[in-house]
Amino acid sequence: MARPKPPLTGACLCGAVQVTVTAPPLLTLACHCGGCKKLTASAFSLTTMVPKDGFACTGDVIKGGLQQGGRHHYFCKSCLNFVFSEIEEAEFRVNLRTSVLDDAALFPPFVEVMVDQKLPWANVQAQHSFGALPDSLEVLQSLMDAYSKQ
């Protein structure tokens, strides 16, 4: 399945927050950690990592969720849809919630993380799977490199 070329567009549930991605995504993933399950009210969260300098968001967003470990989660102020996250130690990227993209179906998870915490019936067809988070920036970079070659 061919991914669409940037620009990519999307919006929150009510449409008050619009996102535009002007650079190719870095990686797609599903996270099974307890925090993501609660933040998304689902069995896992879906993320499309994008370069921060290729990401734009218009509309009113508010910070929400737990702000632990340098993680900042942004929600539409109107409908409270979870839109994206920023991680202080990964300042070059934004973790966009895949489901806000207009073409979300074209961005299946390439990686799944925190599978040691997954619900037994929550199966994801990712090419790479990790019990926890990747253990180094080198591993993360190798995943991004492999994703870019698809």
pLDDT at 69: 72
> How many domains does the structure of the chain reveal?
1
Condensed to tens digits (0 to 9), the pLDDT of residues 84-105 reads 999 888 889 999 999 999 999 9
Helix (H, G, I), strand (E, B) or coil at 30: strand
Q: How far apart are CA 36 and CA 113, in angstroms?
A: 11
- What range defines the domain where residue 47 resides? 8-148
Looking at the domain assignment, is residue 88 inside a domain?
Answer: yes
Question: What pTM was computed for the model?
Answer: 0.92
Strands 61-64 and 55-58: unpaired
Condensed to tens digits (0 to 9), the pLDDT of residues 73-85 reads 999 999 999 999 9
Looking at the domain assignment, is residue 47 inside a domain?
Answer: yes
pLDDT at 36: 86
- The DSSP result for 8-27, as a single string, is EEEE-SSSSSEEEE-S--SE
User: For residue 121, what are its two tokens?
Assistant: 């019936």
